[in-house]
Amino acid sequence: TQLLEQSPQFLSIQEGENLTVYCNSSSVFSSLQWYRQEPGEGPVLLVTVVTGGEVKKLKRLTFQFGDARKDSSLHITAAQPGDTGLYLCAGYNTDKLIFGTGTRLQVFP
């Protein structure tokens, strides 16, 4: 079973702080995706990283794929209350999308 472990599990910070969420596996993935989910809704795709060492930026969010394609990170600069939500990494195991354990982020004003 390919497991995607995320850390930290919970993160509670003040507006304006920076944070990093990690997604780690012992398996190699051809690509990894990051999603954000708000309560009562389905997850929404933020980014897909496909090349080892790749860095993608989405406004204040920076995503990195590890060189060995076993891990990824999400860095948020100057977090805002609107960033609050459940962040999920996910990778494909054959044709099935497997989700990470999740990181619940709360940003206080």
Which residues make up the interface to other proteins (CB under 8 A)? 30-31, 33, 40-45, 48, 50, 86, 88, 90, 92, 95-102, 104
What distance in Å separates the CA atoms of residue 93 and residue 98, rounded to the nearest whole number?
Answer: 7
Residues ≥6 apart with Cβ < 8 Å to 9: 101, 102, 103, 104
Alpha helices in the chain, H assignment, sequence order: none
Closest approach of other proteins to the CB of residue 91, in Å: 8
Nearer to other proteins by Cβ, of 44 and 78: the residue is 44
For other proteins, give the closer residue by CB, 43 or 66: 43
Please, what is the minimum distance in Å from the beta carbon of residue 41 to other proteins? Answer: 5
